[in-house]
Amino acid sequence: MSYTRRDFLGAALGLSALPISNLKWSAGAVARTPDPRSASRPSERDTVLVVIQLTGGNDGLNTVVPYADDAYARNRTTLRLPTGELHKIDSLLAFHPRMEAFQRLYKEDCLSIVQGVGHPNPDQSHERAMRIWHTGDLISASPAGPQRPARQTGWLGRVVDRAWSPTKADVTAVFVGPISRPFALNAENVFVPCIRSASGNSGSQISDFGLSPRVESATRSSPSAGDPLLQFVRQRTLDASAKCARIEAVIKAGSGSTDYPSFGLAGDLRTIAQLIRADIGIRIFFAELGGGGIGGFDNHANQLGNQCALLHQLSESVAAFMYDLKRDNLLDRVLLMTFSEFGRSVKENGRRGTDHGAAAPMFLAGGRVRSGLIGPHPSLTDLDKGALKFGLDFRQVYATVLDQWLGFDSQVALGRRFEPLDVLKT
């Protein structure tokens, strides 16, 4: 059976997670294959970055709680957490009652709290705020203008593109989670696989690696030697299939610890730990918490119970992952980072919930993280439209993990230089 050009392109573009978004780009890429000699790629170090997205806008004030600040009690009539149940960090701040595992990591010098993280002119739309965090570009959330179109790649996708080499079959980045691949991993030239994980701690994985019969037939066919576009798409499809098969083989082998709690995020992190052990060249992992549930961290009403469950899942899952890696002396290779698109309003809203805010804390965890509080805690009285003002630009955190951890020039990914944070041990 023969295939037309239209049939083959339709089949190839049906490969899940293959980032060929339109034919105009694909055709151009045939003539403009990146030159690996000129690419600014990460160094040959073996460090690994794990990013966890807290979807919906996590309430930072009930995560790292300023229990000694009178303004906290005044603004949180029903949401105020009892001081006696908190896990105290110092005389002002404490972890949420269900984050005991994070307190352990903090005391063991494996967890840092970056306070008051945000950006200028915060946007309280979920979609636009997430776009800012995913692209690392404040302009990307605005309608594209004639002089500055919105970015079509994510901050990590640009790292993946620059790490590309035609002589290596390694996968640089992978998304593990229940939602669609985050825009942060959107790359121009490189395939970024997605792993759909099963819930619980069974270790079984459901991945979207498989090619449909239509794609398999198309890739086995021989396109015209005179058609560079078909040759390009065919080769990219075959490369993607081979990389996915390699990852799937590691997951099916099922090696590694089973000492994880029965949470979805824990299962995702267990899969990531397996792939780190396998050492198949993946240096960037992305996971997610909150997007698979109703509302996630977007708690406009009845916040206490829902956030409590999510923070417990986060804390216990990350701790299990850290201890798993530590047992095999792998923790010094790994840096884990959490983020959410924005924090919440300081004052509760009358429905026992909070509304969209701005600045919030981020967490960094790993064997080479220096525990402590980074940056000043934002004021609870000097606000911007009811939200905390930011003290640290989120791109400073990105610059830290790119420059100091992955060994990648952050200016290439972020478009300008940002001062990194002093959070990693030398």
Question: Are 17 and 146 within 8 A, CB to CB?
Answer: no
Give the largest CA-CA distance in the chain. 75
Tens-digit pLDDT profile for residues 313-357: 999 999 999 999 999 999 999 999 999 999 999 999 999 999 999
Answer yes or no: is 330 within a domain. Answer: yes
CATH code of 207's domain: 3.40.720
At residue 114, φ and ψ (nearest 5 deg) are -95, 115
Residue 65 lies in a domain: yes
Is 426 part of a structural domain of the chain? no
Number of domain units in the chain: 1
Those residues of the chain that have pLDDT short of 70 are 1-44, 140-149, 166-170, 197-227, 229-230, 232-243, 254-256, 293-295
pLDDT, tens digit, for every residue of 234-265? 666 666 666 677 777 777 776 667 799 999 99
Residue 162 covered by a domain: yes
Whether 421 maps to a domain, the answer reads no
Which pLDDT does position 9 carry in this prediction? 43
End-to-end CA, the chain: 61
Domain membership flag for residue 36: no
Whole-angstrom Cα distance, residue 181 to residue 188? 14
Structural domain harbouring 393: 5-28+51-414
**Residue 420, domain member (yes or no):** no
Q: Please tell me the predicted confidence (pLDDT) of residue 35.
A: 39
Residue 260 inside a domain? The answer is yes
Tens of pLDDT, residue by residue over 379-390, are 999 999 999 999
- Enter the DSSP assignment of 334: E
Over residues 33-62, the pLDDT tens digits come to: 333 333 344 445 789 999 999 999 999 999
